[in-house]
């Protein structure tokens, strides 16, 4: 019985660690995405950082990433930034990979 309980606890720890990594990487991706979008809209410095925080907050509206996509899409449309839906979604995916790499590198160093 002890082996079964140990395995179960191991799976629970792994699940918790995976969920934490997913949360951190999504938040980091959103920050990177916000900075990218801010640059496209001509924002820099503190304004770019503030916009990145807005993008992070937008992800708290509903589960998934559609709320973040809609914010970027609406802001790009309002500012006349020429980016297709595909380009935005592709950049979101690329930045998620970059965010994971950054977090993994930070945990090793």
Task: Delimit the domains of the chain by residue range.
Answer: 2-108
77/4 Cα distance (integer angstroms): 55
Q: What pLDDT does residue 32 have?
A: 98
Q: Are 37 and 73 in contact (CB under 8 A)?
A: no
5/39 Cα distance (integer angstroms): 51
Token representation of residue 35? 């900075």
Q: What pLDDT does residue 1 have?
A: 59
Q: What pLDDT does residue 50 have?
A: 97
Backbone phi, then psi, for 80, in 5-degree steps? Answer: 70, 30
Domain at 2-108: CATH architecture? Orthogonal Bundle (1.10)
Q: In what helix (H) or strand (E) does residue 64 lie, and over which residues does it extend?
A: none
Q: Are 59 and 67 in contact (CB under 8 A)?
A: yes
pLDDT tens for the chain, 109 residues: list them: 588 787 788 878 887 887 888 889 999 999 999 999 999 999 999 999 999 999 999 988 788 899 999 999 999 999 999 999 999 999 999 999 999 999 989 988 7
Q: What is the largest CA-CA distance in the chain?
A: 63
Q: In what helix (H) or strand (E) does residue 59 lie, and over which residues does it extend?
A: none
């Amino acid at each position: 019985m002890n082996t079964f309980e140990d395995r179960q606890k191991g799976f629970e720890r792994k699940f918790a660690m995976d969920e934490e990594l997913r949360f951190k990487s999504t938040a980091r991706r959103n920050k990177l995405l916000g900075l990218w979008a801010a640059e496209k809209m001509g924002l820099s410095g503190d304004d770019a950082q503030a916009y990145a925080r807005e993008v992070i907050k937008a992800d708290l509206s509903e589960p998934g990433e559609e709320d973040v996509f809609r914010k970027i899409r609406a802001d790009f449309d309002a500012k006349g930034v020429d980016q297709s839906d595909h380009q935005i979604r592709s950049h979101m995916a690329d930045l998620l990979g970059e965010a994971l790499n950054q977090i993994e590198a930070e945990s090793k160093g």
